[in-house]
Amino acid sequence: MSLKGKTAIITGGSRGIGKACAIYLAKQGADIVFNYSNNSSMAEETADEIKNLGVKVQAVKADVKSSQDIDYLFNQALENFNSIDILVNNAGITRDTLLIRMKEEDWDTVLDINLKGVYLTCKAAAKHMMKKRQGRIINISSVVGITGNPGQANYAASKAGIIGFSKSIAKELAPRGILVNVVAPGFIDTDMTSVLGEKVKDNILSQIPLGRYGSPEDVAKLVTFLASDDNQYITGQVINIDGGMLM
């Protein structure tokens, strides 16, 4: 499953699932470009870790909800690597609260980063990939986008939106050889889940047949397969990686 000679852009690639995806893609030989929003020291550490795998890497400070920043991110990738073969949309945030307490800012910020960011990056990637008549786009959604979850109306809406958006562009881009898929993680052991209380964690674990949280590496291995040439006939699909929660 070699990705040597290919370039991957990963949004939110300095930590968590995004970092794991960047590392697994790099282990297969892909050169890596990832964006980060604020923490430059963490981005540098991640870049050094990837560089030690023997590939080229570039960390770019960019806001995924800004069209200007996305243009800058993709221009940097093309100037330094000459190609964009893989896009992994991982950047996302939560602003959890019940609907009646949810501020308009909480709604707008989550939808802008989680959904508008996917629109902007996919549009930028498609322009380049269509010329080459090949490419892989993997958008990270969530099982919450399928089931909903109390206190996460904004997050669930953004993740459900990713699913509908991805299915639509998969149909648009398939004739040009571009495969678009969605990975919907369940509860993954990241910074986002580490803040949950013990009672909440116990309740979640009781719903997972495998009896454990997933790891970022579990998600990264699936993403790497979907991004590779081993995947020739899967597009427009939503693949849950949730320990059996939704089966």
CATH number of 7-238: 3.40.50.720
User: Which sequence spans correspond to the domains of the chain?
Assistant: 7-238
Per-residue pLDDT tens for 69-94? 999 999 999 999 989 999 999 999 99
The mean pLDDT of 3-16, rounded to a whole number, is 96
Q: Compute the distance between CA of residue 43 and CA of residue 45 in angstroms, rounded to an integer.
A: 5
Active site residues: 155
- Tokens at residue 117, please? 């960011």
The mean pLDDT of 242-246, rounded to a whole number, is 95
Contacts of 189 (CB under 8 A, 6+ apart): 213, 214, 215, 216
Per-residue pLDDT tens for 168-208? 999 999 999 999 999 999 999 877 666 666 777 788 889 99
For the whole model, what pTM was predicted? Answer: 0.95
35: β partners = 60
Among 96-100, 150-154, 189-193, 220-224, the minimum mean pLDDT is found in 189-193
